[in-house]
Every structure is written in C-alpha cells, then in structure tokens.
C-alpha cells in the first residue's frame, strides 16, 4: 500500500465531499459509485475512476465506504463484484455509513478473517463540513490502526473522536447522535409550524431561537431552508427515518426505552408515507404544518 492513495466508494453528498477534501489536500483519490454523474463530478476534480469495487486499486492506503445502509455496505464488501475479491492482509476498510452496531461487528469479523483492518468511522455534519474537513468523525478501531491511518484521518476531519478500540462503538455513538438530531429536528419543525399558526414572522422567530434556549444546529439549518421554500435534498427524509429507527432498535436491545425517540422516528416514517421521502428533511415543516403542496 502507498501513502497518499485512497479509494472512496460512494461519492454522494458526504462521500463526494470527503473525496473533494482529500483531492484538495493532495491525495491521489480513486472513486466508484453506481451513479455515473457523481463519478464524473469527482473525475472533473482530479479523481480517477474504476469499474467496480472488485477493481479497486490494491495500492490504496485505505478503502472508504460511504454508501447508504448495511445492505449496500455488504454488497460493496462481499457481493459478486465486491472488495473482498481484491482485499489482502494489511489493507484497511473504513466504514462510514450509519448502520446497526451488530452489522459493523459482523463486517469487522469477516474482514479480520481476510487480515484486513476495520475502522468503524461514521461521520456527521453535512456535505459542506465533509468538504472543508470540519465534520465529526466517530472512530472505533485499535490504537495501532488509528496510528497507521492518522494522516488520512487528520486530513478527513479536524474533529476525530476515538471512541474505543471496539468496532460497533462508533456506530452506537452515531445512533445516539442521530436520535438526538432527529428529536431536535422534529421539535424545531413542530415549533415553527406552531409559530406559523400563531401568525408570527418565521424569520424573526428563528432569529430569536438562534440566540435563545431553543437553539439547535439542525433545527436552524433545516428551518431556514423550510421558510425559504428550499426542499432540494441534501439529506433525504429517508436518512433520518432509517437512523432513528436503528437508534430505537439499539436502545431496545440494550433494555432502554425513552419517551421521545420512538415518537420522533414515527414522524419521519409518517412524512415518508405522506410523499415527502425524496425531499430534504426540512420538509418535516411541511408535514407538521399541513403544507404538502
């Protein structure tokens, strides 16, 4: 493996941001995605493309997986044209999707059998932060693997949190974070829908919230878009729908049941069923405000 060569599989909003960030910092970035337009956008920035995960370049320092869910991750790793066909002892795979901890653990066991290191490394912060290197990266791997990948991790993010040496703990941390993000977003959408019903100026209401006790980053970010009528998808409704569902399931498996998580998860599912699945999750404002048109 060669330093400064990295493979990114899945170059959508977050993976594309990460790839662009690494390209800007002088990495030789190789990319794959089932969406040819996404690949073309990365090639235009200087990346090099390959035809399938099985064709990934063997000289990469690490293979970053940034797809949507466990099914896609499993296919990328162990499918008919998966990475497992070319991975060798000493390779490192970085798992960035938000997936169940038990799926991370299963993938890590299978990769370890090939002599491959696993970095359980979910990410948070949105595409702009992925691109400028300020996203949060929740890392679970051994200290030795962390040290071997320190240059890559440092260039990916200025906010790397080494959670533990146990794959699965990064996923657990991400689910805790995203459950709170989902609860905050549902709360912000509900509050703003209430403000609309009360006849308040929504921009001024958000100005007050931004400087007061109701402030949350995700609430302000999404509700600013909502009042502008901007529902172009940066993070589809289905993403936090998936993440909150996984978080509630993880809580139950640990014997914990809180008062808000399951209800917030149901709101995302209801918005999906109302036809808003492909819109930005700012569309919760439309859903809770009864403004579907």
Q: DSSP secondary structure string, 8-30?
A: EE--SHHHHHHHHHHHHTT-EEE
Percentage of the chain beyond pLDDT 70 is 98
Helix axes 169-197, 237-253, angle to 10 degrees: 120
Fold annotation for 5-167: Rossmann fold (3.40.50)
The answer to whether the 5-167 and 172-289 domains have the same CATH topology is no
Percentage of the chain beyond pLDDT 90 is 96
Residue pair 72/53 in contact (Cβ under 8 Å)? The answer is: no
Is a pLDDT exceeding 70 seen at residue 7?
A: yes
**Residue 292: what pLDDT?**
41
**Residue 240: what pLDDT?**
96
The three-state DSSP-derived secondary structure of 121-160 is CCEECCHHHHHHCCCEEEEECCHHHHHHCHHHHHHHCCEE
Domain ranges of the chain: 5-167, 172-289
**Residue 1: what pLDDT?**
61
Which of 78-82, 123-127, 182-186 shows the lowest per-residue confidence on average (mean pLDDT)? 123-127
**Residue 293: what pLDDT?**
40
Of 228, 240, 227, 244, residue with least CA distance to 277: 240
CATH of the domain spanning 172-289, picked from 1.20.140.10, 3.30.2350.10, 1.10.1040.10, 3.20.20.140: 1.10.1040.10
pLDDT digits (tens, 9 = 90+) for 232-260: 988 899 999 999 999 999 999 999 999 99
**Residue 24: what pLDDT?**
97
**Residue 31: what pLDDT?**
98
Catalytic residue check, 286: no
In this structure, what token pair is assigned to residue 151?
């240059």
**Other CB atoms within 10 Å distance of the CB of residue 63:** 26
**Residue 47: what pLDDT?**
97
Confidence of residue 290 (pLDDT cuts 50, 70, 90): low
Q: Which of 88, 159, 174, 242 is catalytic?
A: 174
In this structure, what token pair is assigned to residue 144?
């030795």
């Amino acid at each position: 493996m060669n330093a400064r060569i990295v493979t990114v599989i899945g170059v959508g909003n977050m993976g594309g941001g990460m790839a662009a960030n690494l390209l800007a910092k002088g990495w030789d970035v190789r990319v794959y995605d089932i969406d040819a337009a996404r690949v073309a956008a990365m090639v235009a920035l200087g990346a090099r493309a390959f035809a399938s995960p099985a064709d990934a370049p063997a000289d990469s320092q690490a293979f970053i997986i940034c797809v949507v869910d466990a099914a896609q991750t499993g296919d990328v790793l162990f499918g008919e044209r998966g990475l497992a066909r070319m991975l060798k002892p000493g390779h490192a795979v970085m798992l960035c999707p938000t997936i169940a901890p038990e799926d991370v653990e299963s993938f890590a066991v299978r990769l370890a059998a090939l002599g491959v290191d696993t970095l359980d490394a979910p990410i948070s912060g949105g595409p702009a932060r992925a691109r400028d290197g300020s996203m949060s990266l929740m890392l679970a791997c051994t200290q030795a693997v962390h040290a071997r990948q320190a240059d890559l991790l440092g260039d990916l993010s200025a906010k790397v949190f080494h959670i533990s040496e146990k794959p699965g703990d990064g996923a657990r941390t991400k689910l805790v974070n995203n459950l709170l993000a989902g609860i905050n977003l549902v709360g912000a959408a509900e509050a703003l829908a209430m403000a609309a019903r009360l006849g308040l100026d929504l921009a001024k209401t958000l100005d007050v919230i931004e400087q007061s006790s109701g402030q949350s980053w995700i609430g302000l970010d999404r509700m600013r878009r909502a009042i502008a009528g901007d529902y172009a998808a940066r993070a589809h409704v289905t993403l936090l729908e998936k993440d909150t569902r996984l978080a509630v399931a993880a809580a139950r498996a640990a014997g914990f049941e809180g008062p808000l998580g399951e209800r917030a998860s149901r709101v995302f599912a209801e918005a999906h069923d109302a036809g808003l699945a492909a819109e930005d999750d700012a569309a919760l404002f439309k859903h809770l405000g009864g403004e579907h048109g």
